[in-house]
Structure formats: C-alpha cells, structure tokens
Amino acid sequence: PVLSLRAAPRCLSCASCAQRRGQPPSLIAPGRRIMRLLLPMVLLAAPSQPYQRRRRFCCKTEMTYNALGDPECGRQDLVLMGKREKPREADGAAWLEFLFAVVTNAAFLVPLRMLWRRRRVADVAACVGLVITSTFYHYCETFRVSIFGMNAGNWHRLDNVFAIAGSVTFVALLMGRASKAGPSQQELDGLRWGALFVGLFFQELNPWNVACTIAPVAGALAYAAWWLSTRAPAGHGARFRSREFRYAAVAQVVAHVFFALGLDERRDVFRAWHGLWHLANAASATMYLVALDPL
C-alpha cells in the first residue's frame, strides 16, 4: 500500500499566526515540526520491494570501500535485503567446524565462574556477553543461519565489542581492585567505559579489520602502563612475579599465535586454529585470575 501524507498548513505551526489568533506561542505543538522531519526519514528507511531486491548489503562494511579499505565480504556475510543464502547442510565437515569454533567457547565458563566467585560484576557481564555472542557468531557462520534475525556478520560485530570489553577486564586486573592505595573506582570505570566507547566507534568503522579491535585494547593497555609507572603504590609490581603469572603470560602469547593463524579463513577451513585460540585464551584468563586476584 502507498502511504499518502499531507502536510499541515504552515500557519498551524507558525508563531506569528498563532499570536494573531490570540494564542500564545508556547501552546504551539512542536510535534508537527518533528513529524515533518521524521516522516521523510521513515519513508526512506522503508524502501520499496524492488529496491530491496536490487540492493546488496554487506554487514562487514556496509559499503564497497570504507576508510580502512575492506572491499570483500565473507561467504556468509554478503546478503540481499530480506533474503539470505541457503543454510549449510549439516555434514561431517560442518560438525567438525562446530566442534572447533562453537563448543570451545565452553572453556570460558571456567574463568566466568571464577569472576563470579570474586564478585567482579562488571567483568562477569563482559564475559557473559563474550560467551553468548561468540557462540552465536560461530554457530551462524558454521551453518549459514541467523539467530534473532541476525546473521554471522551481525553477531561478529557484537563478538568484537565484547572481546574488547573482555580484554579490558584483564587490564583492570593488572591495575588491581579499587582501594585507597590502588586505583580509584572512577579510574577503573573510566577505563572500562572509555575503551567500550572507542571500541564501538571502531566496530562501526570496520569490524573485520583486526586493527579496529586491537586499537581500543591498546589504548587501555597504554593507560594501564602509565598508571603502573606513575601512580601504582609501592610493591604493586610483586603481583607480576609469581609462577602463575608467568604461566598465564605464556598461555596468552600462545593464544595470540593461534589467533593470527586462524585469520586466514581459506587455510583454517574447520576453524581449528581459532578453536585453539579459544582454549588458550580461557586458560590464560584462568591463570591470570589465580595470580592477580586470589581468593
């Protein structure tokens, strides 16, 4: 159906005309002006069906090129408006990819439980979001389906956001709990929210460029390095000399090697390297909690 809109006479929203009718300008309903702005936007946001069939939509970039230059979309991310590619057949290869990419997210339940026992509420929220979005992303990617109307590219965006939030929990862990001698609660809150805001900006810019995920985490680490070198209390560095901390650091390095190897989707067909990234990253987070925030 075609929606026909008829604009109201101009004098109904004109202050001078209202004054001539004896009405004070304060009684003029500002809603008409807002509606005049919103209705064209609504019409543009709901294009006709032929236009939907013609328009190509890529949830990686939403443009052919953007500022960081990522002109290609992956196998599951190039879609037509309102129409997706057919779901993948659940064969042996699909279930193998499901095992590596999806099931390995269960490893993060271990550090999640440890965070809960330590009453680190903000970090629990970040970890829960990471587990959910990563699981949904890899499930949609594996079977070429959508969950809650969002395909793998949409869930990948959210996965990156919570990956940034989860990484910042590690940075907060390095600084320690809020205390008079340690960082203030305002500093920790500013660190978390600041990294999240910057991360959201970069994920809108280009979620499939690794630099857009690394940048906000690097900024948070730079702030932590400045805090540790200038404001940390005496003896704070002793927390980083334990055997558990060294094991956690080694596991973290190994995890990042696995992550780098898994970036090539053409070689990592079953997402095995990415699954090992999940496992090593979860192990690293577990040992960091033991070393830096023991019960």
Kindly compute the dihedral angle of the four CA atoms of residues 202, 206, 211, 217, in this order, to the nearest 10 degrees.
30
Can you give the pLDDT of all 295 residues of the chain as single tens digits?
Answer: 444 444 444 444 444 454 555 555 444 455 566 556 655 554 554 444 443 333 344 544 444 444 444 445 544 444 433 345 577 788 888 999 999 999 999 999 999 999 999 999 999 999 999 999 999 999 988 888 889 888 888 888 899 999 999 999 999 999 999 888 889 999 999 999 999 999 999 888 877 788 888 999 999 999 999 999 998 888 888 889 899 999 999 999 999 999 999 888 778 888 999 999 999 999 999 999 999 998 7
pTM of structure: 0.71
* Nearest to 252, CA basis, from 133, 170, 135, 138: 170
Nearest residue to 165 via CA among 207, 195, 121, 206: 195
* CA neighbours closer than 13 Å in the CB half-sphere of residue 290: 16
In single-letter form, the type of residue at position 145 comes to V
What is the spatial distance between Cα 75 and Cα 77, in angstroms, rounded to a whole number?
6
Distance from C-alpha of 194 to C-alpha of 197, rounded to nearest angstrom: 5
Cα separation, 267 vs 93, in Å, equals: 14
